[in-house]
Structure 1
Amino acid sequence: MTQPTPQNPGLLNWLLIIVLGMIWGGAFMSVRLALDGFAPLTVAALRVSIAALCLLIIGQILGQGIGRVSRDAGSLGWRFAVILGTVSIAAPLTLLSWGQQFVPSALAGVAMGAVPLLVLPLVYVFSPEEGIGPRRVFGIVLGFCGLCLLIGPSAFGGTANAFGFWGGAACIIAACGYAIGSVVTRRAPTMPPITLASATLCVASAILVPLALWFDGWPSSWPAKPTQAILFAALFPTALAAVIRVRVVTTAGSLFMSLTSYQVPVWSVIFGVTLMNESLPQNVFLALALILTGIGISQSRSLISMLRRN
């Protein structure tokens, strides 16, 4: 069986990023619902701590416990876990929770489309073996143009709330954290996916839980719908997605992984419109056509290779 590479990610990795796109697209809706009952920092802290507990149990059962960080990678493994837990989990989730108080969930998801453009220069500097040629650059830029068309020039600043611009800016800064995290994950020492994912979530929990208790205190009530939304966000977009993300990045590369960010706006818009009654941009179909075309161009070689082998 051929091992997946950044040039030939393989069928399984393609299926995994499609699943990730759907899961992460629904995350913004669940966070929006959770904010109806909990403060932003509490939402982020509960999300990562529940996810960390879940992965610790699963990892122990499957022989991918957190102890393997020291056994497989030593102190270097923990240094990477601290960086990833801080930059790509704790900071982005806090920014997203705060930003979604002021912008629709669909627009928060659209902001994640900035990830591929942010990943591109990082890959060029820190992960050159993934390969960046004119074809990939053109495909990513074309997809990003589709995202710009999707949100419109005043998407964030035009919200009724005065903090709309800053809420959108927080979501875009969160995307920077995800972009950095993708490249750092690619350079991390080899260890099982659940091991690395649970270690990073534990680091994020160690940061966010004390901060949430200090600033927000223990929740005085646990409303049914916001609590259910937090559980969904913890188990699927955080715990399950963290494992899938590590697997995809370590086998197919951070640039391939960044293509998930083109799906996230699509799913976040679909979920926001159908389930949250948020308004749909008029030019959504043309925008999505550009996005999908950009994905096809940037990964055309791997698509053709995969179809020939299957």
Structure 2
Amino acid sequence: MSASAGKLNWIKLLALGLIWGASFMFISVALRDMGPLTIVAGRVGLGTLVLLVVLRMRGITLPSFKTSNGRLVWLSAAAMGLFSSALPFALLSWGQKYVASGFAGVCMAVVPLFVLPLAHFLVPGERLTLQRGISFLIGFAGVVVLIGFDALRLVGSDYEALARIACLGASLCYAAGAIITRLCPKTDMLSLSAAALLSATVIITPFALAIEGIPAMPSALSLVAILYLGLFPTALAQVLLVQVIRDAGPSFMSLVNYQVPVWSVLFGVVLLNEILPPQLYLSLALILGGLLLSRKRRQAVAA
């Protein structure tokens, strides 16, 4: 990779962190006028349309149903659509009705740590070593601090406690989605992303219509929020993601996990005037510390 290509990948990585970090703020804005499932249906539907246009412009087709490999890719895409888009988007959007956007963003730092035990059992060659186990425990301590012991006791009427668990559930969904993506048969990544988003749209739209009905015309600000969510973190980010992974590798791409929670906290505090509890910053330090420890082991092996 040349120096100029390296700089370009760093710019793309920073852009991805900014785009994904800001998405939690825009979800909070959209929730002022729309239900959580309507928001999800809107963003995945718009994201699907954008990616289909990108595929058309590049002469790439969706996976074929005519071959056994193509049908297997579509099965993987449907699972990805559920676990990487429909379900986590719904959990986050509902959760942010009761918790700050900065909290939801910090939960995303847990995704790589959730991947560790899942990969141990599901991905050949991905063993949970002692160092990775310690990193997981450190990160899990951060999770306990993040949701608080009250959430672990869980009072039935405490929607905030449920919302915290929902946001962490979204992180677990993303981790499962990452494993599914890794196990998917080889195919064009943009084609796979479009198929996954199309599957997510098919999955979530009937639920949105059945539960929340046809939405009324939202305010201009909420409409801008939906447009942002569909165009940037859902569609454009997929294009950048594929480019960075192809040019610099998945290990480099994983650095974005350090950015997203920081940006989400900054946007929430500065632009939405959110007041975040002190334990959130302690939990973020523990989670990122565990993530850093897990990465050090991988860097040592690569060296």
Task: Report TM bin, short chain.
Answer: 0.7 to 0.9
Q: 1-side partners of 2:140 and 2:7: how far apart? A: 24
Residue 276 (1) aligns with residue 272 (2): yes
Task: Give the Å deviation of 1:127.
Answer: 1.5
Residue 300 (1) aligns with residue 262 (2): no
**Aligned-CA RMSD value:** 3.6
Q: 1:90 to 1:285 in 2, by over 3 A?
A: closer
Q: 2-side partners of 1:54 and 1:37: how far apart? A: 24
Residue 101 (1) aligns with residue 97 (2): yes
Aligned residue identity for 1:38? M
Task: Name the structure 2 match of 1:25.
Answer: 21
Instruction: Give runs of aligned pairs for residues 85-234 of structure 1, distance below 5 A.
Output: 85-130=81-126, 132-146=128-142, 148-149=144-145, 153=149, 162-234=158-230
Q: 1-side partners of 2:179 and 2:295: how far apart? A: 18
Secondary structure in 1 matching 2:215:
coil
Match of 2:34 among 34, 38, 49: 38
CA contact (8 A) 1:262 1:291 kept: no
Q: Which moved more, 1:131-140 or 1:20-29?
A: 131-140
Secondary structure in 1 matching 2:278:
coil
Match of 2:235 among 236, 239, 248: 239
Task: Give the Å deviation of 1:244.
Answer: 4.5
Aligned residue identity for 2:104? A
Aligned residue identity for 2:278? Q
* Ranges in structure 2 where 5+ consecutive residues have no aligned partner: none
Q: 1-side partners of 2:67 and 2:11: how far apart? A: 31
Task: Give the Å deviation of 1:15.
Answer: 6.5
Match of 1:54 among 41, 50, 59: 50
Q: 2-side partners of 1:157 and 1:266: how far apart? A: 28
Q: 1:257 to 1:171 in 2, by over 3 A?
A: farther
Q: 2-side partners of 1:299 and 1:191: how far apart? A: 27
Q: 1-side partners of 2:166 and 2:283: how far apart? A: 23
Task: Name the structure 2 match of 1:263.
Answer: 259
Q: 1:249 to 1:259 in 2, by over 3 A?
A: same
CA contact (8 A) 2:116 2:132 kept: no
CA contact (8 A) 2:106 2:284 kept: no
Aligned residue identity for 1:45? A
CA contact (8 A) 2:89 2:170 kept: yes
* Ranges in structure 1 where 5+ consecutive residues have no aligned partner: 3-9
Q: 1-side partners of 2:64 and 2:9: how far apart? A: 24
Report the TM-score when normalising by structure 1: 0.80
CA contact (8 A) 1:103 1:168 kept: yes
Q: 1:105 to 1:157 in 2, by over 3 A?
A: farther
Q: 1-side partners of 2:202 and 2:85: how far apart? A: 12
Q: Deviations over 1:32-68 (max 9, x none)?
A: 1001111111101001000000000011111223256
CA contact (8 A) 2:132 2:293 kept: yes
Q: 1-side partners of 2:254 and 2:149: how far apart? A: 23
Secondary structure in 1 matching 2:125:
helix
Q: 2-side partners of 1:228 and 1:25: how far apart? A: 17
Task: Give the Å deviation of 1:21.
Answer: 3.1
CA contact (8 A) 2:51 2:235 kept: yes
Q: Deviations over 1:278-304 (max 9, x none)?
A: 013436666555455444432236657
Q: Which moved more, 1:26-35 or 1:111-120?
A: 111-120
Aligned residue identity for 2:80? L
Q: 2-side partners of 1:70 and 1:196: how far apart? A: 16
Q: 1:176 to 1:249 in 2, by over 3 A?
A: farther
CA contact (8 A) 2:17 2:263 kept: yes
CA contact (8 A) 1:68 1:191 kept: no
Q: 1:64 to 1:22 in 2, by over 3 A?
A: same
Q: Deviations over 1:119-171 (max 9, x none)?
A: 1111111223345433333344434545555665558999xx94111112221
